[in-house]
Structure 1
Amino acid sequence: MLTAPTRSRHTSRTAAQQPAWIDPVTLHRVIGDLEKQPPLVQPREVDRLREMLGRAAAGQALLLQGGHCAETFGEQALDEVENNVGTLRRMGRALSYGTGLPIVPVGRMAGQYAKPRSRSTETRGEVELPSYRGDAVNGPEFNERDRAPDPWRMRTVYDESAAVLERIPDGACHVSHEALLLDYENALVRVDPETGRRYSGSGHMLWIGERTRQLDGAHVEFAAGVDNPIGVKVGPTATADQLLGLVELLDPGHRPGRLTFITRMGAEGVTEVLPELVEKVASSGSPVLWVCDPMHGNTRTADNGLKTRWISDIAAEVHAFVRIHRALGTHPGGLHLEMTGSHVTECVGGFDPVTSETLGERYTSACDPRLNRGQSLELARLAADLWTRN
């Protein structure tokens, strides 16, 4: 039986992107309750995923990571889980068939309820309220009651994540999310009594976002203290020294499958920035797994004000990612996508094209635009071709 460690380690490090909780008594009560709950995932499952990611890092497999930008609470979201997992598995079959490599499917699910924001507040007219930070923190409606950060929502995250895991078919995929809310993440760390190793019980794989990957920050400190596979989002401002510093802090033992760099450069920036980063990290001897997130660097605002992404930009970044790794003799290790198995109209393009004019017809994302089912499968087939040709 896994045991809860002593209450979260105190740290003087800055924790970026945390909510301004207004009720410390309730926060303390929620954290205490979460510390008593069983972990959502087990060490043997985590270790198994790390082994699989290690093979991907060695060029013997590909990681396919996908799911919602931000999960939401409620039965409707739970009803979509099986369809989303099914779409991810179909994408994996297409990618495997085209490349001849086994696929490691990992869902962005069962924990992806919190989102970083570029601004802490949102203003409409003369009204200023806290920004929506995902259902783990507050609600999307623009009113004082919905936007007030509520610690009890973290308890709901646990219950909803457990319900999602129950609806994932056995053996279909591991789960992952951004380890953003440190109150929640620390409360679910458990110690394996057989090995003494510390694991996050909130998900099999966790990642640190572009906004929270500071070397001296609390998120990196947290990730260094658990034995799960860790991803780090890497944007166009990243430097080789920063990535080498992350390697030293998060994977000093150079364990295959422990550390994944998820690049999100944008179609215009990837060619200029990525080669030096890959080359210098590879020269260090680190067995990092490199994965392409072609979504976050390619967000646009349509004429109707909706955020969107163009399939042509997404494909261009994937193409450049593969081409750069082939030129350097390194392995382009997979894809990280925001996608859904539903027929939404949030990204522009595809064989059954979504246009700028039809974006609003079925735009249901809680935050950023996702590939729909058809676009996801098209991209998987295109990616398989790119991996084979380059």
Structure 2
Amino acid sequence: MMDAAVQHEQAPMKRERNIAPVRQPENWTPASWQAFPAVQQPTYLDPAELDLALDQLRELPPLVTSWEILALRGLLADAAEGRRFLLQGGDCAESFDDCTSPLISNRLKVMLQMSLVLTHGLKLPIVRVGRFAGQYAKPRSADSETRNEVTLPCYRGDIVNGPAFDAESRRADPRRLIKGHARSAMTMNFVRALIDGGFADLHHPEYWDLAWVAHSPLQSEYRQMVESIGNSLRFMETLAGSAVGEFQRVDFHTSHEALLLHYEEALTRQVPRHWGWFNLSTHFPWIGMRTADIGGAHVEYCRGIRNPIGVKVGVSTQPDQLLRLIDVLDPDNEPGRLTLIHRMGAKHVAKALPPLLSAVRASGRKVLWCCDPMHGNTESLGSGVKTRRFENIRDELDQAFDIHAAAGTRLGGVHLELTGENVTECMGGARDLTESDLTRAYKSSVDPRLNYEQSLELAMLIVRKRGDQGRLD
């Protein structure tokens, strides 16, 4: 039965991008994944408690709409053709405690600042996709961890259990699924309110400044960009004789890893005006490296939904394996359907990426290629702290642009773990953070993130790299 909360969709059809109906996959339902091997799922000790939580989820309103999802597919199709550039970024794993107005607005600010730099430098519209409003679960390399001879389940993100090392915190609690939905809804509501209220108005990019701008080595370059964009807008409005309303707001979409399949299934709905099924928990779900088995439950689930899908691709991915995965997830070669997010590491990308690019290009597949320079460059220091070096992040991204250019393919986006806060989790960058700086403001409970300054610096480096390639061409 169609969900009652979706009955009242009033789709603004003008935003939809000629996403032609194809067909619903055969032998698929939102629950068909349950017949396949499902890895990275928590163990809930009370099945009745889980069923109760899922029944509640099925009755809750969706977090996004079908027309927003289809609009994003059109934007991603443009990015694959070189008419836009994808900026996907946010926390490695959101925390329930971080659902506060300052943290959300600062995260939005840094994404807007980065997109401003990229738009100005690349001369392309930017597709903004946040890793938030649902990124509450994380895959783990082991099901349990041991400290001082005590073994407990691993922390799998706030939507599953708590980070504190005690039995009650580490118990997988189905009630957290409901709390995750609520926190996601509050985050999306606040982001939408900010954008609709003019927070993202390009006439006033100075409103996005974080406190760091006045002290950053990059402040002069950034201020020049802001002034240049302001002057350009005023010039256009002088010619037009009226305000340029298009620049008073921006599009913003959400994404998260489609990891907890019970949660994703409960928010997968049909809608009145479009055929098929939509995951209405997010605009853009992706499949991670640990769950990309062609015969696994995550691929089975994702093949049936109409959302655009991302797939993480690593050094172990073989060309024939990738082509089979594409066949399953995008059998009709639909524009905007599939984004391949390669995450190789600076040491391995030159060897691992070219065979994949060659195979996909020869197959004629219409995919969007995106670079995640974060996950392949994670390392643990002697102290046990996980970090990433800015120089390795930059190096992998630089190499990725060059490898795509040599292969005749296009790198159309970047996928980053970042925050709008003044954290010290990744070493290097304009202020050359060192290992001793990590103890000053290391806040992540999972993976290290770029801080606001490192994020903006990376956006500027992308612009310079693309500019250098253009001059060489």
Query: TM-score under structure 1 normalisation?
Result: 0.97
Match of 2:446 in 1: 367
Moved more, 367-376 or 298-307: 298-307
Is 1:28 equivalent to 2:51 in the alignment? yes
Match of 2:317 in 1: 238
1:7-86 map, 5 Å: 8-9=31-32, 11-74=34-97, 77-86=100-109
The one-letter amino acid of 2:138's match is K
Q: Which runs of 5+ in 2 are unaligned?
A: 7-28, 196-249
1:1-390 map, 5 Å: 3=3, 8-9=31-32, 11-74=34-97, 77-168=100-191, 169-170=194-195, 171-390=250-469
The one-letter amino acid of 2:371's match is C
Secondary structure at the aligned position of 2:35 is classed as coil
Residues of 1 paired with 2:120 and 2:428: CA distance?
Answer: 24
Residues of 2 paired with 1:373 and 1:308: CA distance?
Answer: 16
Residues of 2 paired with 1:301 and 1:178: CA distance?
Answer: 24
The one-letter amino acid of 2:80's match is A
Equivalent pairs counted in the alignment come to 390
The one-letter amino acid of 1:372's match is N
Moved more, 228-237 or 3-12: 3-12
CA distance 1:298–1:77, shift in 2 (3 Å): farther
8 Å contact 1:71–1:366 — kept in the other structure?
no
Moved more, 241-250 or 114-123: 241-250
Residues of 2 paired with 1:298 and 1:75: CA distance?
Answer: 26
The one-letter amino acid of 1:129's match is L
Residues of 1 paired with 2:268 and 2:111: CA distance?
Answer: 28
Offset of 1:246 from its aligned partner? 1.4
CA distance 1:112–1:75, shift in 2 (3 Å): closer
Which structure is higher in helix share? 2
8 Å contact 2:134–2:282 — kept in the other structure?
yes
Residues of 2 paired with 1:119 and 1:210: CA distance?
Answer: 15
Secondary structure at the aligned position of 1:117 is classed as coil
Offset of 1:8 from its aligned partner? 3.0
- State the Cα deviation string for residues 344-389 of structure 1 (Å, max 9, x = none): 0000011122210110111111210000000000000001111222
Residues of 1 paired with 2:395 and 2:98: CA distance?
Answer: 36
CA distance 1:75–1:291, shift in 2 (3 Å): closer
Residues of 1 paired with 2:3 and 2:272: CA distance?
Answer: 7
Offset of 1:268 from its aligned partner? 0.5
Residues of 2 paired with 1:270 and 1:75: CA distance?
Answer: 34
Residues of 1 paired with 2:372 and 2:304: CA distance?
Answer: 25
- State the Cα deviation string for residues 160-214 of structure 1 (Å, max 9, x = none): 0000001113345100000000010000001012223210010000000000000
The one-letter amino acid of 2:419's match is T
Moved more, 156-165 or 167-176: 167-176
The one-letter amino acid of 1:350's match is G
Residues of 1 paired with 2:62 and 2:2: CA distance?
Answer: 8
Secondary structure at the aligned position of 1:227 is classed as coil
8 Å contact 1:291–1:333 — kept in the other structure?
yes
8 Å contact 1:8–1:187 — kept in the other structure?
no
Offset of 1:78 from its aligned partner? 4.8
Secondary structure at the aligned position of 2:312 is classed as strand
Residues of 1 paired with 2:321 and 2:367: CA distance?
Answer: 14
Query: TM-score under structure 2 normalisation?
Result: 0.80
Offset of 1:76 from its aligned partner? 5.3
The one-letter amino acid of 2:261's match is L
Structure 1 outlier segments of 4+, above 4 Å: 4-7, 75-78
CA distance 1:7–1:173, shift in 2 (3 Å): closer
Residues of 2 paired with 1:208 and 1:172: CA distance?
Answer: 23
Match of 2:10 in 1: none
8 Å contact 1:264–1:295 — kept in the other structure?
yes
8 Å contact 1:339–1:371 — kept in the other structure?
yes
Moved more, 167-176 or 15-24: 167-176
Larger Rg: 2
RMSD (Å), alpha carbons? 1.5
Provide the identity percentage: 47
Residues of 1 paired with 2:53 and 2:108: CA distance?
Answer: 30
Secondary structure at the aligned position of 2:57 is classed as helix
